[in-house]
């Protein structure tokens, strides 16, 4: 077998503006489950009673979006599923097409709303006093597009209305809620953060660097290197993410917008934030480091916080799981953790496409609850070994590149065997995403908060770590059953270091 660890990724091949507006979105974006939108909201204080200031904000954003689209035309486009003409001519199997960019407009869509008319109680002061909770940040109000397709209030949207990027400037008394919604198949959150940073530069009239232009406008098809023929079946490297196909009548990729994201919660669930101060994060890191196994010498704060949350969620669920199963010694718990793999593949951090994989960790509920924090964090860290991530990512890319017709007996599950109603947890960290320092040349200073809005239907066991604030604090957003949240709020081990926001 060829050495999987020494293959360098293809260089970022520059392409013309016309080609960039019609290019392939990239191999990892070909997953049907990624046809959703990722939202993030930047909250700014704005003095009341100044219509000229509002006009300045809107014009600055409009001009910035125009500069952004001039440099990166695909950002003003849409996502389309395009059948392979050659394959169709040869009567190839269904699913032979690819998701590609297609032109849509001259600039990304900017929605301007006076939110005081639709949500009178939503004010900057109310948000500030409550610490910017999910309950005040409803996607239906603050975002230009819902996360998941199929909501009745978006039934009027055409199937071709799939813009790459939308921006909403929502004005509330005393503030601006600037929300970005990016098509997840075209960029992960690291990529979206880079695009948002580019808009910050564009609004300020700053030029893009040669590296940014090269990373943004390049042939995405071959950036993630595939396995060689003698590397074997890609399925052997990602067995946790492949599940048997139970029907031969599955919808084609163009008709299957989501996969794991359409899970309806079987019990009342809510989106809630828990806040972790810099002091609390340091304490969690110290506790994890003090309980590392002999085989480990380092875990990051992110590893430790992820393990801390995994344990807290499972402790809250344990009484319910015991009641249903008599014991939790054999009940499995799977954590699916999203990982940015640019660095281990030699891809520039400024490359904005979807370049993430999942590390899948399965053990028992009892093990999660009773293991030393450092031991659990060390397991998470071990899965981030560059050679391991390169192998898994290249296998995932190869599996996707071959198309659904290549392996009809299995399909890809991005999060693996997660059971959201039992021991499952899906977590994505946005802590490194540019956030509070961005001002977009609006004259408002830094953002007071950066949050993900709440979305429906509730996806139980899904969680996000928000961008790190200027004071080093991090907000963790989780979608959990209300009963589990109540138990977490009563868990003294957890609340000694976490503050409930809601």
| Predicted local distance difference test score (pLDDT) of residue 405 | 63
Dist. CA 302–CA 276, nearest whole Å: 12
- Residue 266 pLDDT class (50, 70, 90 cuts): low
Check if the beta carbon of residue 273 is closer than 8 Å to that of residue 477. yes
Which own/partner pairs from 242-248 qualify as long-range (CB within 8 Å, at least 24 positions apart)? Answer: 242/399, 242/410, 242/411, 242/412, 242/413, 243/410, 243/411, 243/413, 243/417, 244/409, 244/410, 245/408, 245/409, 245/410, 245/411, 248/408
Q: 350: which 2 tokens?
A: 């400024």
Using alpha carbons, list the distances in angstroms from residue 472 to 280, 301, 303, 401, 435. Answer: 10, 11, 16, 40, 12
Whose CA is closest to 186, among 84, 104, 303? 104
Distance CA 203, CA 496 (A): 42
Cα 269 to Cα 296, 408, 486: the distances in Å are: 37, 35, 11
Question: pLDDT averaged over the chain?
Answer: 91
Higher pLDDT, 440 or 49: 440
CATH superfamily of 17-217: Chloramphenicol acetyltransferase-like domain (3.30.559.10)
Whether the pLDDT of residue 250 is over 60: the answer is no
- Among 88-97, 347-356, 477-486, name the one with the lowest average pLDDT: 88-97
Grade residue 247 by pLDDT with cuts at 50, 70 and 90.
Answer: low
123 within 8 A of 14, measured Cβ to Cβ: no
Tokens 């890319």 appear where?
397
What is the mean pLDDT of the segment spanning 170-181?
A: 98
pLDDT in tens, 360-377: 999 999 999 999 999 999
CATH 3.40.50.11390 is right for the domain spanning 267-431+455-500? no
Average pLDDT of the segment spanning 158-167:
94
Report the C-alpha gap between 414 and 241 in whole angstroms. 6
Residue 253's pLDDT band, with cuts at 50, 70 and 90, is very low
- The residue-averaged pLDDT of 416-440 equals 95
d(CA 427, CA 424) in angstroms, rounded, equals 10
Residue 265's pLDDT is 44
| Residue 397, token pair as written in the block | 């890319």
Within 8 A by CB and 6+ apart from 362, the residues are 240, 332, 333, 334, 335, 416, 417
Q: Does residue 146 surpass a pLDDT of 60? A: yes
pTM score of the predicted model: 0.92
Q: Quickly tell me which residue has 């956030």 as its tokens.
A: 435
What's the confidence (pLDDT) of residue 95?
Answer: 56
Q: How many residues does the chain have?
A: 502
Calculate mean pLDDT across residues 433-448. Answer: 96
pLDDT for position 49: 74
pLDDT at residue 254, rounded to an integer: 33
**What residue ranges do the domains of the chain occupy?**
17-217, 267-431+455-500
Could you report the per-residue pLDDT of 383-396, keeping only the tens digit for each? 999 999 999 999 99
| Angle between helical axes of 278-290 and 301-325 (0-180°, round to 10) | 80
- Tokens read off for 421: 């109603």
Find tokens 């008394």 and name the residue.
173
Q: Which two tokens stand for residue 478?
A: 């989780």
Q: Is the pLDDT of residue 426 over 90?
A: yes
Nearest Cα residue to 406 out of 275, 195, 253, 301: 253
Per residue in 329-355, pLDDT (tens digit) is 788 999 999 999 999 999 999 999 999
Q: What is the pLDDT of residue 327?
A: 66
85: confidence class by pLDDT, cuts 50, 70, 90: low
Count of other CB atoms within 10 angstroms of residue 128: 15
Asked if 411 and 253 count as a contact pair (C-beta separation under 8 A), the reply is no
């Amino acid at each position: 077998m060829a050495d999987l660890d020494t293959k360098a990724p293809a260089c970022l091949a520059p392409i013309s503006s016309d080609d960039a507006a019609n290019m392939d979105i990239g191999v990892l974006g070909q997953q049907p489950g990624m046809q959703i939108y990722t939202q993030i909201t930047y909250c700014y204080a704005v003095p009341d009673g100044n219509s000229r200031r509002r006009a300045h904000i809107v014009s600055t954003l409009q001009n910035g979006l125009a500069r952004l689209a001039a440099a990166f035309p695909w950002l003003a486009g849409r996502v389309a599923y395009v059948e392979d003409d050659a394959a169709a001519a040869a009567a190839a199997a269904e699913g032979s097409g690819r998701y590609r960019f297609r032109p849509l407009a001259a600039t990304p869509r900017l929605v301007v709303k006076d939110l005081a008319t639709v949500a009178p109680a939503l004010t900057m002061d109310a948000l500030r006093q409550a610490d910017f909770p999910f309950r005040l940040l409803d996607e239906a109000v603050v975002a230009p597009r819902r996360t998941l397709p199929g909501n009745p209030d978006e039934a009027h949207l055409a199937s071709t209305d799939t813009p790459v990027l939308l921006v909403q400037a929502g004005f509330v008394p005393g503030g601006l809620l600037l929300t970005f919604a990016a098509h997840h198949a075209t960029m992960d959150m690291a990529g979206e953060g880079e695009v948002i940073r580019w808009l910050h530069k564009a609004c300020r009239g700053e030029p893009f660097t040669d590296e940014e232009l090269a990373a943004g406008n390049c042939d995405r098809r071959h950036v993630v290197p595939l396995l060689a023929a003698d590397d074997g079946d890609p399925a052997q490297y990602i067995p946790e993410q492949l599940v048997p196909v139970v029907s031969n009548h599955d919808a084609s990729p163009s008709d299957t917008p989501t996969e794991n994201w359409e899970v309806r919660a079987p019990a009342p669930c809510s989106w809630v934030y828990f806040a972790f101060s810099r002091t609390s994060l340091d304490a969690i890191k110290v506790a994890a480091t003090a309980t590392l196994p002999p085989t480990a010498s380092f875990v990051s704060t992110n590893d430790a916080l992820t393990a801390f949350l995994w344990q807290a969620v499972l402790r809250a669920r344990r009484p319910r799981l015991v009641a249903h199963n008599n014991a939790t010694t054999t009940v499995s718990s799977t954590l699916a953790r999203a990982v940015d793999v640019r660095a281990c593949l030699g891809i520039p951090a400024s490359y904005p496409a979807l370049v993430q994989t999942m590390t899948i960790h399965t053990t028992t509920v009892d093990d999660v609850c009773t293991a030393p924090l450092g031991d659990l964090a060390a397991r998470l860290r071990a899965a981030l070994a560059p050679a391991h991530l390169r192998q898994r990512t290249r296998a995932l890319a190869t599996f996707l590149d071959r198309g659904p017709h290549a392996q009809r007996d299995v399909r890809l599950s991005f999060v693996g065997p997660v059971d959201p109603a039992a021991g499952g947890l899906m977590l994505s960290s946005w802590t490194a995403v540019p956030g509070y320092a961005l001002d977009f040349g609006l004259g408002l200073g830094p953002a007071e908060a950066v949050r993900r809005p709440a979305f429906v239907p509730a996806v139980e066991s899904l969680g996000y770590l928000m961008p790190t604030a200027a004071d080093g604090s991090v907000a963790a957003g989780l979608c959990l059953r209300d009963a589990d949240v109540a138990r977490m709020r009563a868990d003294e081990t957890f609340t000694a270091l976490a503050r409930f926001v809601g």
